[in-house]
Amino acid sequence: MIMPSIVNTSLLCLIYISILPLSLCATKYQPNWDSIDSRPLPAWYDEAKFGIFMHWGVYSVPSFYSEWFWYRWKGAEPYPQVVEFMKENYPPGFTYADFARSFTAEFFDPAEWADIIKASGAKYYVLTSKHHEGYTNWPSNSSWNWNSVDVGPQRDLVGDLAAGVRNNTDIHFGLYYSLFEWFNPLFLKDKASGFTTTDYRDRVATPDLYDLVNRYKPEVIWTDGSGTAKSDYWKSTEFLAWLYNDSPVKNTVVTNDRWGDDCPCHHGGYYTCYDRYNPGVLQKHKFEDSMSVTKGGWGYAREKPLRSYHTVPQLLTTLIQVVSCGGNLLLNVGPTKDGRIMPIFEERLRQMGSWLKVNGEGIYSSRPWRKQNDTVNSNVWYTKSPKTEAVYAFLLEWPANNIVYLRDPRVTSTTTVAMLGHALPLKWTGAGGRGMNVTLPLLNPATMPCKWVWTLKLEGVK
């Protein structure tokens, strides 16, 4: 019998401990991609399926265009609308750093945010500890006067949220960290040297990563922004070997795949590949689709009209497609500079949670079925329960004649069909491998189990 490598290794370790120095066991993962990639993903992450992401930083002060505001204003290819916005609204000589003092966060209440996150049905949460602007939401030792304790909120936002989110919830707390910074002179110098010098990494990125893990014990490390450098410049495998062997979160932490230019979709923990990664077909490797409630950017942008906010059915469709194909959804909202989650974001998140309350049985801890979407009915996606073998069919649309045709389930003499949140079994017809027609219950708005996307639970199908 072939045992998973983790079992082998720990059994070997038990033997080693009795005859060899303990250090052999402590160095289970080596600082190279073969070894790092061999680590099994801690099970909680796949079971979680749904997380909330937040982009919060100095860009939340202008709250215009996106979190890329500074770069689109002062970077290599400025965007006219951002340059124009500054000309019209700020005096000459105003710098990006001048925004930081208006990052006031006076309404910020971590308990309230935690309540919204919990109500969304999410099982994990990822906060930007630092975006490409370099401003840190914790008192990073490498950040002089460009962090949330020295300027702006004058509080440790990461620490306050870690405590708030973990208080009375089972939500896993995670941190996003941008490896590079657009304008950090140390980084620009290393880049100009073709990454033969490593001052920025040694003085900023590496110490920050260790500091974040030791201080806040995040269970997700979501790195981003390779700045065109490869993972050997970032010493990513060294950090990950420490994270997996010796860190305080070595048993539960999960990481993504953005550890250098050579990594996305190839190395690390789960794959994010590119933003809004929704492949639509079953994936071999665990993946995450990170997307925002707003189309486009991630940080709060005041000028966005209603049409640039995804609707709940759109968000649920993505969640279901992603989970059917083996992935997780990490859904972003951008808080305001004064520490609020705008009511439209709050409503979206609470609506996701109200849906998951009824239909979560087919989402959390589910597994991909043999079909991800129905061969004939393009409005139907599937998951299955690993325990009961029940198949869940998610109906993105309610069929006009109340009868839904499912091509792929093979019915048997024991087949039963129910709608989650509705008590009575449903009538169906069909035979063998030609699929089935399910008659949906006659419901009115008051008896609907949910307002969007209904779930059929099929038992005794093949």
Ligand X SMILES: *[C@@H]1O[C@H](CO)[C@@H](O)[C@H](O)[C@H]1NC(C)=O
Residues contributing to the site for ligand X (CB under 6 A) = 110-111, 141, 163-164, 167-168, 207, 211, 280, 373, 375, 378, 405, 429-430, 434-437
Which residue's CB is nearer to ligand X, number 218 or number 430? 430
**DSSP secondary structure letters along 74-131:** HSSS--HHHHHHHHHHS-TT--GGGGGGG---TT--HHHHHHHHHHTT-SEEEEEEE-
Distance between CA 303 and CA 299 in Å, rounded?
A: 12
Identify the DSSP state of 367.
B
Report, in Å, the least distance between residue 113 CB and ligand X.
10
Which residue's CB is nearer to ligand X, number 144 or number 307? 144
Identify the DSSP state of 79.
-
The token pair that represents 240 in the structure block: 């990950």
Report, in Å, the least distance between residue 397 CB and ligand X.
13
Identify the DSSP state of 281.
S
Which residue's CB is nearer to ligand X, number 101 or number 462? 462
Closest C-alpha among 276, 290, 374 to residue 324: 374
The token pair that represents 123 in the structure block: 């099982």
Report, in Å, the least distance between residue 182 CB and ligand X.
23
Report, in Å, the least distance between residue 217 CB and ligand X.
15
Report, in Å, the least distance between residue 116 CB and ligand X.
14
Helix (H) or strand (E) holding 381: strand 380-384
The token pair that represents 434 in the structure block: 């030609």
Which residue's CB is nearer to ligand X, number 335 or number 430? 430
Which residue's CB is nearer to ligand X, number 236 or number 372? 372
- For 388, other C-beta atoms within 10 Å of its C-beta total 10
Helix (H) or strand (E) holding 82: helix 80-89
The token pair that represents 427 in the structure block: 């009538």
Helices (H), 342-437: 343-359
Distance between CA 305 and CA 213 in Å, rounded?
A: 38
Which residue's CB is nearer to ligand X, number 101 or number 370? 370
Which residue's CB is nearer to ligand X, number 128 or number 206? 206
Which residue's CB is nearer to ligand X, number 236 or number 373? 373
Report, in Å, the least distance between residue 437 CB and ligand X.
4
Report, in Å, the least distance between residue 67 CB and ligand X.
27
Question: What is the CA 100 to chain-centroid distance, rounded?
Answer: 27
Report, in Å, the least distance between residue 31 CB and ligand X.
21
Query: Which residues share a beta bridge with 456?
Result: 393, 419
Closest C-alpha among 286, 267, 287 to residue 277: 287
Residue 87 DSSP SS3: helix
Query: Which residues share a beta bridge with 403?
Result: 439
